[in-house]
Amino acid sequence: MASKLSSLALHSLLVLALAALLNLASNSLNLKTYFDTSSFSAKPTHNMTVKLYGSPSSTCTRRVATVLKEKNVPYELIPIDLGKGEHKKPEFTSLQPFGQVPVLKDGDFTIYESRAIGRYIALKYGNQGTPGLIPSPSDFEAWGRFEEAASIEQNNFDPFASGISGEKIFKLMRGGTTDEKRVKELTDTLYAKLEAYEVILSKRKYLAGDTITLADLFHLPYGTMITERLGIDALNSKPNVARWWKDITSRPSWQAVKDGA
């Protein structure tokens, strides 16, 4: 009788243990809802850490990382392997329909386009880190000057610096060959554009005035790529441009991410 009872107790214990195990498994399945919905992260999102989806070495990812550093915003880099085509997979294109890095997730808010992300960070975290990276939109003149400078970077610098990098680096990575004639045209145009930079920077410390803004920082990734990786010395060829370039490249924010976001 006693042995029957103890085998019953053992059986009940086993049933209870099994139920507990099943409960644990189902809870851990439910926990999935607390995790990032993308397959790139298995880390809980409830700590609200800003997530930067990108490739540590990508220029646009590092453009955003510099701004995060300037604004003292801790972030978690969620690596997207461009070599494996992770940026073209549905998990990623559901965040960035063009299939390009970077993407930033701040709580429930998702944003892409590196310069737009930079503006968002500078405004949202306006009260911390480096002040004045973006002016208040209610200061019309400062705003206008800032947008002018940001537009200069996007239209008079980036197409040439990224174009040269595209020809001399990215094309080769895809198995193509560099079009040297196009590189020469882009390089000549870049030098000519920097004549105008020299005029502007002989009157102001930075592109939008006497304090640094996002417009200056946005130059860093491609400027460094053409200077350090390709040996094109355009940014050191004129005194005021060189002074400005030395200033912005020596910022701790850039030094922290230049070799990897």
Interface with ligand GSH (CB under 6 A): 58-60, 82, 87, 99-102, 113-115
Cα 38 to the center of its chain, rounded Å? 18
Count CB atoms within 10 A of the CB of residue 151: 11
Residue number, 87 or 168, with CB nearest to ligand GSH:
87
Residue number, 64 or 190, with CB nearest to ligand GSH:
64
Residue number, 70 or 158, with CB nearest to ligand GSH:
158
CB of 173 to ligand GSH, least distance (A): 11
CB of 57 to ligand GSH, least distance (A): 9
Residue 203: exposed, middle, or buried by beta-carbon count in 10 A (0-12, 13-18, 19+)?
A: exposed
CB of 106 to ligand GSH, least distance (A): 16
Q: How is residue 178 written in tokens?
A: 């560099």
Helices 180-203 and 158-165, axial angle in degrees (round to 10)? 150
CB of 139 to ligand GSH, least distance (A): 26
Pair 213, 222: CB distance under 8 Å? no
Residue number, 99 or 159, with CB nearest to ligand GSH:
99
User: DSSP secondary-structure letter at 207?
Assistant: T
Residue number, 63 or 69, with CB nearest to ligand GSH:
63
Count CB atoms within 10 A of the CB of residue 109: 10
Q: What is the phi/psi pair of residue 132, to 5°?
A: 75, 15
CB of 125 to ligand GSH, least distance (A): 19
CB of 120 to ligand GSH, least distance (A): 12
| Planar angle of CA 71, 97, 166, nearest 5 degrees | 75
Give me Rg for the CA atoms of the chain.
25
Residue number, 56 or 99, with CB nearest to ligand GSH:
99
